[in-house]
Chain A
Amino acid sequence: MERIIGIDLGTTNSLCATVFDEGPEVIGEGDNSVTPSVLSRIDSGWLVGQEAQQRRISNPENTVFSIKRLMGRDLEELGELVNELPYQIVEAERKLLKVRIGESEPYLDFTPQELSAEILKKVKQRAEAALGEAVEKAVITVPAYFDDSQRQATRAAATIAGLEVARIINEPTAAAIAYGLDEKQDLQKDGHVAVYDLGGGTFDISILKLSGKIFKVVATHGNTQLGGDDFDQSLVEILKKRILQEYTQAQFDDPESKQILRKTAESIKIGLSLSPENEYTLDFPKQDISFTDNFKVEDFESLIFPLVEQTLESCKHVLQQAKLSLDQIDEVVLVGGSTVVPGVRREIETFFGRSPHVAIDPYKVVAIGAGIQGHLLAGGRRDFLLLDVIPLALGIETLGGTFSKIITGNTTVPVEESETFTTNVDDQTSIDVNIYQGERELIKDCRALGKFKLHGIPPMKGGFPLVEVMFRVDANGILTVSASEKRSGKKAEIEVIPFHGLTQFEIERIMEDSFEHAIDDFNERQLIEFRLTAERVFQGIEQNWNVAESALSGTERDEIRRQMEVVRESMKKQDSQALKAQLDVLGELTRPLADTAMGRSILTELQADGETS
């Protein structure tokens, strides 16, 4: 059975999980199971993960983090965030956002999709190393409130990373599966579950109805621009104020200072979840500033309260949409690293009037749920079903700048709906189909997704043509649109110009470019590794051949020489597993030399090789 892993591509951290014989679990041990969603530019490539994390202060302009907040967005929507981030963001063609790397021309501009792809590539590589097999297919999670552009961007990133996306699923829903299918968790089998998911950059609240085998999302609400990062930012503002009281001339606009403040804010936040007071020091060596102070937990809680309150407003809203009252919620589940922040959990408990489930690590639960879903999609089980919804209404612009919904928010997917429209003006021969997502009356308050024109409508009296616009949303929550004029039978051109995303052509071109530089094929990487190992082993043998002459018989030495030839032949071929097998044989032959320096060094090589593969 093929393996489909689950990947949680988070704002702050990324993880992956799969179903092992013992059950679903994250892939990798301890620190190896988490890849910080940070990347830092070096020479002609990227450092990704922990190594990049370390460069946030030493190299702030070229170290990119929280890229999830840029996915599927344009410059205007990001607002203040652009100034808060230490790396440069520019607007490219079609209002696409790009991160600009480099002090001077020629700059290197990267879309968020390409950057997220680098993170996914790293996650993929680490998974392959841990599992000892190629990883090609994955279920990727997104916030439930992600709109069509944001989902498309995520899918594009995975494609660029060389992953086939088996499904895009919503993070709260993934968490619900992890809890619901875990017998130990004792989640009520037939009831309403509220999943409160506060991550680094996004917030979701989803209400699910668990009924027999079915996990059905009833309603979902949230904010894709609200998360732990905003707690940090609030802290940063206070820290600035405090410093300015003592150092009135202090400046914080350069990237390095921004990052120093940011990192300190993060560690204060983390520190306060462990103890009621946190002492910190801020050093700005270039400005000769050294500032020491402490932060109390109650001050932190009042600071973030307005943000937490926003999440509770969302909770009220989602209950209304679900047509449920608070006492009809049977269970509450907490997900996301930011739910461990002081004060947050207490507010949630007060609001819902019950203790939330936190037993499954809130950092891991989404990945685990995605891994379980991957297992189902691979045919590994059939005993549950997710029925998710589209979070926001979809529709088109109608004359006057008004938004006409074709699919309402919180509709179960997959769904297909069509509506018929007409012209208002005589002899109108072309109709603009501008596609939007949102809940407001006017398009200017909704999100533009894309557009196309339906040409060649025979001139008729206004109100006569019958233009059927068909919307189809798949199980990933992603939309395809078609339109035709029924009287003439004219169909619309199929090419939709996406407003915030990459076209299929652009994605393919990016992949072609990266393929020339990167070696991401599992087999190829293994070949390189084993060939290198073989070279080192040969070197070891040659350097210590004089010891072998005393420790081994003539026959044994001949066998070693012969096996070295066999290995050399195998190195010329493309089969990594065959090469490994021959290296193992060579290892066996040099085993009698275990007690000598040479033997030990060879065996160490081969043993080390065995662990990393």
Chain B
Amino acid sequence: MAYSEKVIDHYSEPRNVGSLDKSDLNVGTGLVGAPECGDVMKLQIQVDPETKEIVDAKFKTFGCGSAIASSSLATEWVKGKSIDEAMSIQNTEIVEELSLPPVKIHCSVLAEDAIKAAISDYKSRNEN
């Protein structure tokens, strides 16, 4: 089915690896870790100041392949979403009988935490 193919294709080549300018006020940076595994991930978002939409996202993860793959998907997801939408990360594409390989438990929260941290950082620096 199209969804699972999309997901798997996406994972075999992680996209959005890299950095954004930390000092830029339109950039939010989140740094999170999963100590159970020794993974550390930095995720950055670039927000359009007028539309409040996330126009770009970059990440860098040091950890197991599973963590890298999960991060990659997360950054794809947030692109094009508003900050508020991104705060409640939910995969809205509901598929029946979807069969996929599992994920490591810590990986499923790592990316979510990273996005929230990045948004939180952006908000706190743009409070005024």
Contacts and interface: CB of A to CB of B under 8 A. Distances in A.
Is there any pair of Cβ atoms, one from A and one from B, under 8 angstroms apart in the complex?
Answer: yes
A399 B98 contact: no
Contact of A402 (B69, B94, B100, B105): B69
Contact of B70 (A400, A432, A442, A453): A400
A404 B8 CA distance: 16
Contacts of B103: 398-399, 421-424, 463
A405 to B, nearest CB: 9
Given A397-B101, A421-B104, A431-B99, A404 B91 contact: no
B18 interface: no
B2 interface: no
Best-surrounded residue of A399, A401, A427, A469 (most CB of chain B within 10 A): A399
Interface in B76-116: 90-91, 94-105, 107-109
A179 interface: no
B: interface residue count bin: 20 to 34
A494 to B, nearest CB: 18
Contact of A427 (B66, B95, B104): B95
Contacts of B7: 399, 425
A488 interface: no
Given A404-B66, A424-B108, A441-B65, A396 B12 contact: no
Best-surrounded residue of B65, B103, B104 (most CB of chain A within 10 A): B103
A310 interface: no
Contact of B12 (A401, A430, A431, A467): A401
A463 B105 CA distance: 7
A422 B102 contact: yes
Interface string A572-592: 000000000000000000000
A482 to B, nearest CB: 14
Nearest to B4: A425
A492 to B, nearest CB: 12
Interface in B1-29: 7-8, 11-12
Contacts, number: 111
Contacts of B70: 399-400, 424
B64 interface: yes
A: interface residue count bin: 20 to 34
A430 B102 CA distance: 9
A421 B102 contact: yes
B104 A404 contact: yes
B108 A462 contact: yes
A422 B108 contact: yes
A403 B105 CA distance: 14
A399 B103 CA distance: 6
Contact of A400 (B12, B94, B96): B12
Given A404-B104, A434-B101, A462-B91, 18 more contacts: A398-B103, A398-B107, A399-B103, A400-B11, A400-B68, A401-B11, A401-B69, A404-B64, A422-B105, A423-B108, A424-B108, A428-B100, A429-B96, A429-B99, A430-B99, A431-B102, A442-B65, A462-B108
13 contacts: A399-B8, A399-B70, A400-B68, A400-B69, A402-B64, A402-B66, A422-B105, A427-B94, A434-B101, A441-B64, A442-B65, A463-B103, A469-B102
